[in-house]
Amino acid sequence: MNWTQAFARQAASDLAARHVLAAEGTLPSCHALHFLQMGCEKLCKASMISAGRDPIEVQRSHASIAKHLPTIVRVYMSREAGRLPRDNWMVDAIRPLARKIELLSPAVRGGGRSPENCEYPWVAPDGSITAPADHPFEFSILFEKAGVALLKIIHQAAIDLQR
Amino acid sequence: MSTKDETARTLAEAHFRLDQGITRIFRIIEADESNGSRPVKLLEVNPMTTEVGISPVGMTADHARGVFHSVVVVEITPDEFERLQRGELKLPADWKLGEELFPHESVTGMAS
């Protein structure tokens, strides 16, 4: 197994964990969102390493989901059976969706405007301290435009990058 | 089996069609470009992308689905493209900017 395959393997596992957690109705939504964010970040890192980046450097850095995920989706869609897809609305929809997923990470704070994240507690604008487990995230990938398509594509991309 | 040139043109056509934010696409070439096992590389200029410099992403070949070459895409903003042309940004390794690929007329028509 090389570094690309290893990152893709872990991305696929994170996404599988997201699926299990999302189906478990008794758990707070932050857990499924956390694995979605981590799976997307590892998929981006697998793709960056596949393109020739130093795996150690990539491992230490923060991968920009907002930048790389739309590109991965576009590459993936364009190569499907060599057809020329006409669903350009999907790429348009995935760009803001990728930004929403990126903002779930505590390392990305949206210029200070988005302290909410799915991993660590934060101080709200009114001074109160909030745990992700208690936060009603107004974000469900399955109800976002192109969300289901994105899930299918990133899952398949994580499998393909393991080859 | 498609050649690398054919794959690059097909990908560029599809990317122009899929993402109407893309304004220009170039091949990226390397010294060993004629080697079919090396990836097809595209540089795409898109004002919609975020500025993080030169950050390539790749996808493996998939012979079972008729994809015979791995693909690398570098997406940058118009401002970053100007910086690349001025030499303030560099492509990795021995990569160089190659020919520009243009959308087919029907794609241009769709975008207008």
Is A74 in contact with B72 (Cβ distance < 8 A)? no
Decide which of A63 and A33 is more confident: A33
Q: Find, in chain A, the residue whose alpha carbon is nearest to that of B95.
A: A52
Which ipTM did the prediction report? 0.79
Is B50 in contact with A66 (Cβ distance < 8 A)? yes
* pLDDT tens digit sequence for B54-101: 999 999 887 777 778 899 999 999 999 999 999 999 999 899 999 999
In this predicted structure, which of A46-60, A77-91, B10-24, B87-101 has the lowest mean pLDDT?
A: A77-91
Q: Is the pLDDT of residue A111 over 60?
A: no
* Chain A neighbors of B18, CB-CB under 8 A: 74, 77-78, 85, 87-88, 90-91
CB A11 within 8 Å of CB A158? yes
Is B14 in contact with A163 (Cβ distance < 8 A)? no
A44 Cβ neighbours under 8 A, 6+ residues apart = A63, A64, A65, A68, A69, A72, B57
Is B59 in contact with A160 (Cβ distance < 8 A)? yes
pTM here is 0.86
Query: What is the structure's pLDDT at B61?
Result: 86
